[in-house]
Structure 1
């Protein structure tokens, strides 16, 4: 029996995108066919809105849940919801993270990926250190192409004044063990923020109560869709709430064992057109 979702939500890295961070033609074709059947398509990602648009090559999604649910956008890019991190927490976290050579970015409502200028040199050494580490090509692209580098004093003023509304802290290190130190540094704000992850080499700090599922609920309400009519694809801890709540939960073959265990279905590897194959086989009925 074919599945009949009315809304399909897609995580990006490790799910919708292949290892080259591209939305393959087969995936576009399957998603387009799904859309033609009347199913709404929503990107559900840890990326900022601006970063989410880059790899999908103008594919017409019906909505966007970005920064793990901290920002929500209509199809035309209009922001309809945002939840920001407390200013004092962001400022305190910057001072704490600067104690070590830890790669970190501040993501704001304007899709800026902010980095401290004074930390640039040591972070460059970090991202050039090991070519075999998961996500290193993405880190380099963000570091050299996407990041907005700002002097420390100026960045702190941007946060304090509200000029920059920070919705997420993205923190990365090539040694997962160093992320335990990061979690310790962030403990003072644990009652006002949540820590999730999209892979073993990073942690992502978002406002308390925020998740991809909370963002998707906006579209469910807008379109009159119930949770059991939603299909969600994901591969990491930041997909947990969505995969737990929807009627059709799909984990990728490359997902962690814990995420695959809670999902109702498992799709093929993200670098083997897993999303496209699952849609063709289980929703469209095409081989």
Structure 2
């Protein structure tokens, strides 16, 4: 298969457990770029916490951030943005707080860790997440939010929930990137480990689950590579791209 774009989740995928891109994986990314392959970070992170990695890897293509909530060029030109209703952010925040969960909310200008603004409507919102080791509490929130058909529910770990606008995903963003480049999802290799990666892994020509991925991801992937601590991304690029 002619892979022209490699889409990489970051946490639990590209980054090892120390949040580092290893020398081996860096080398394989550099080799792929020399062959003209686009390397696209496709992450739940916002621009501020993923851009330094893009710089250090000398990436030259697009960045998919906030689970597809935004698409940026490497020159920080915003190509696409999808916003959540501030009332929905407030709803999720209050549900999480009522159950004692830790929250993080991503506005277009900052990340709010376990805190809320004085006025939710004074900001533009990309996503919100909450975390708990109590699966029952997470299930309760999912049940509550399932009644709202304008929300996209996913996770980046088994211990959290992440909320984006309905229809927004890493896959939908990558389709837009493919359109810009002039390729299709058949030309994409996508790698990830969590439910916010599942759609891009399903839609990509080659979907790769990390060895440390959630079982649901492994079941839909075309290939299971090594873990994020064992150069799984570098090995997948070597196998399918180089």
TM-score (norm 1): 0.79
Q: 1:280 to 1:116 in 2, by over 3 A?
A: closer
Q: How many residue pairs get matched? A: 241
- The 5-angstrom pairing of residues 1-287 of structure 1 reads 3-55=1-53, 58-61=56-59, 62-110=61-109, 112-115=110-113, 117=115, 152=116, 155-157=117-119, 159-161=120-122, 164-188=123-147, 190-284=148-242
Rg comparison, structure with higher value: 1
Superposed CA RMSD in Å reads 1.7
- Deviation string 1:93-131 (CA, Å, 9 cap, x unpaired) is 233322131100110122x111455xxxxxxxxxxxxxx
Gaps spanning 5+ residues in structure 1: where? 118-151
How many Å separate the matches in 1 of 2:155 and 2:137?
Answer: 14
Shift of 1:55: 4.7
Q: Which has the higher helix share?
A: 1
Q: 1:171 to 1:226 in 2, by over 3 A?
A: same
Shift of 1:251: 1.0
Moved more, 217-226 or 274-283: 274-283
How many Å separate the matches in 2 of 1:192 and 1:239?
Answer: 20
Shift of 1:185: 3.8
- Deviation string 1:221-249 (CA, Å, 9 cap, x unpaired) is 11101111111111111111111111111
Gaps spanning 5+ residues in structure 2: where? none
Runs of 4+, deviation exceeding 4 Å:
54-57
TM-score (norm 2): 0.93
Moved more, 89-98 or 193-202: 89-98
